[in-house]
Amino acid sequence: MKFYDCAVAPNPRRARIFIAEKGLDIPKVEVDIIGGENLKDEFLSVNPRGLLPVLELDDGTRFDETMAICKYLEDLYPDPPLLGTTPVERAQIECLQRKMEFDGMIATSEAFRNDTKNENFAYRSLPGNDVVGAIDGLVERGHNSLKLFYHWLEKYLSDSKFIAGDRFTMVDITALCAVDFAKWVELEIPKENTNSLRWYEEVSSRPSAQA
């Protein structure tokens, strides 16, 4: 296998943490998103959408969505379980994971990519696209969505160690990456959100978070 990565990008990081939690060592190919390397012919021959991450199998099969990569690896390497072990657990984790993704990751992406101060993305407001201009109103919407993300994150952590219960899962991986990504638009966990701050300190200290 081969993993096309970008060290600074949040979605590749989600897959990278998942891989590290599984104890896997998959060769990586670094692609510079900030510099637009993902939109050049060499990488577009790997993924015509220009998006990362991409997992390439030995037979040439490729997956270019984070959760597709994680589900594939979970099937091959079920321990430790990060996507649930029963139908109910899997459904609960999928539900919460999507909330972390939409309320946190996508909200920050809207705020970051549509801020005209980000010169590298002035005409790349959609991932994998270099011709769509920024939309100012989406910056405010992204910030408002992130405030709701932090509200619900605190609620989910009010009576459990991790977001989906007492075990670290993909939900925590996505939420951790969302919180760190939100720092790019200067929105951190509110100081009064003590459950979230406790959780963040713990998940940030895991070795996989440094992967």
> What CATH code is carried by the domain that includes residue 192?
1.20.1050.10
Is a pLDDT exceeding 70 seen at residue 147? yes
Domain carrying residue 146 = 87-210
Considering the domain architecture, whether residues 101 and 15 belong to the same structural domain is answered as no
The tokens for 47 are 């993924």
Residue after which a domain boundary falls, among 76, 109, 136: 76
Helix (H, G, I), strand (E, B) or coil at 20: helix
In the chain, how many domains are there? 2
| pLDDT (0 to 100) of residue 36 | 87
Average pLDDT over residues 89-99: 97
- Average pLDDT over the chain, rounded to an integer: 91
Average pLDDT over residues 185-190: 93
Considering the domain architecture, whether residues 96 and 179 belong to the same structural domain is answered as yes
Q: Please give the backbone phi and psi of residue 101, each rounded to the nearest 5 degrees, phi first.
A: -70, -50
pLDDT band of residue 128 (cuts 50, 70, 90) is: low
Distances (CA, A) of 38 to 8, 60, 61, 116: 13, 19, 19, 21
User: Are 15 and 65 a contacting pair, CB within 8 Å?
Assistant: no
CA–CA–CA angle 18, 94, 157 (5° rounding): 80
Give percent above pLDDT 90 in the chain: 78
Average pLDDT over residues 46-63: 96
| pLDDT (0 to 100) of residue 140 | 86
Is a pLDDT exceeding 60 seen at residue 135? yes
Query: Which single residue is written with the structure tokens 């951190």?
Result: 188
| pLDDT (0 to 100) of residue 26 | 98
| pLDDT (0 to 100) of residue 77 | 98
CA–CA–CA angle 151, 10, 90 (5° rounding): 65
According to DSSP, the β-strands at 28-30 and 54-56 are unpaired
